[in-house]
């Protein structure tokens, strides 16, 4: 096959594959809806929470030290933006063996964000949470606007900046949800 034919094959392949790749990226930007039980045994549905404002979904486990290190920062962001409509969801991916430690840990640390149980791991899978902590920020339109995996001391500052952008200020007024 000559160079011209190879180039033509490559261009045709790109013309077929690139639109599919862009479509897949667009599909990934929409947050999959889910309903999980909280520590009180009540179902919490993402789409219902989004009617009040943006949502942070943080996948974690009690045995995950980096996850635990990130919780004080999540609590600060929860405290700072909750009145403006932000919901912080800490989604536990603990196994049945370690799940019994979730509620006592959360209560002992006095965390006030919502804690949910992903018993079968289906929600974590939908959000590609193969490594934790995995933090996903979803705007009130249901679009994923930020994803972070792992913990670094700078995470809190970065997460705060992302959330702050979801509540732009107008002249003479407080934040308004986009």
Walk along the chain (178 residues) and give the pLDDT tens digit of each residue.
Answer: 565 554 333 333 333 333 333 333 344 599 999 999 999 999 999 999 999 999 999 999 999 999 999 999 999 999 999 999 999 999 999 999 899 999 999 999 999 999 999 999 999 999 999 999 999 999 999 999 999 999 998 999 999 999 999 987 655 555 555 5
pLDDT, position 177 = 54
77 and 159 Cβ atoms separated by less than 8 Å: yes
State the Cα–Cα distance between residues 77 and 70, nearest whole angstrom. Answer: 11
The CATH H-level superfamily of 31-165 is Glutaredoxin (3.40.30.10)
> Taken in order 121, 126, 129, 134, is the CA torsion positive or negative?
negative
pLDDT, position 46 = 98
With CA atoms as reference, report the closest residue to 90 among 156, 145, 15, 36.
Answer: 36
With CA atoms as reference, report the closest residue to 113 among 145, 76, 61, 138.
Answer: 76
State the Cα–Cα distance between residues 158 and 148, nearest whole angstrom. Answer: 10
Helices (H) then strands (E): counts for the chain: 7, 7
Instruction: Detail the DSSP E strand segments found in the chain.
Output: 35-38, 43-45, 55-60, 87-92, 114-117, 134-138, 144-149
Q: What is the pTM of this model?
A: 0.80
State the Cα–Cα distance between residues 77 and 159, nearest whole angstrom. Answer: 8
pLDDT, position 1 = 58
């Amino acid at each position: 096959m000559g160079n011209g034919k190879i180039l033509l094959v490559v261009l045709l392949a790109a013309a077929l594959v690139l639109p599919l790749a862009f479509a897949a990226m667009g599909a990934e930007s929409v947050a999959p809806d889910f309903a999980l039980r909280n520590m009180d045994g009540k179902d919490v549905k993402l789409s219902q929470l989004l009617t009040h404002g943006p949502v942070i979904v943080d996948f974690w486990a009690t045995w995950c030290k980096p996850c635990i290190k990130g919780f004080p920062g999540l609590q600060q962001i929860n405290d700072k933006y909750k009145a403006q409509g932000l919901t912080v969801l800490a989604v536990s991916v603990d196994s049945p063996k370690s799940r019994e430690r979730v509620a006592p840990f959360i209560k002992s640390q006095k965390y006030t964000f919502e804690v949910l149980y992903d018993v079968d791991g289906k929600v974590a899978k939908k959000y590609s949470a193969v490594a934790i902590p995995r933090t996903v920020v979803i705007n009130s339109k249901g679009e994923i606007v930020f994803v972070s995996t792992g913990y670094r001391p700078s995470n809190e500052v970065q997460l705060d900046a992302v959330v702050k952008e979801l509540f732009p200020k107008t002249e003479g007024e407080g934040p308004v949800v986009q």
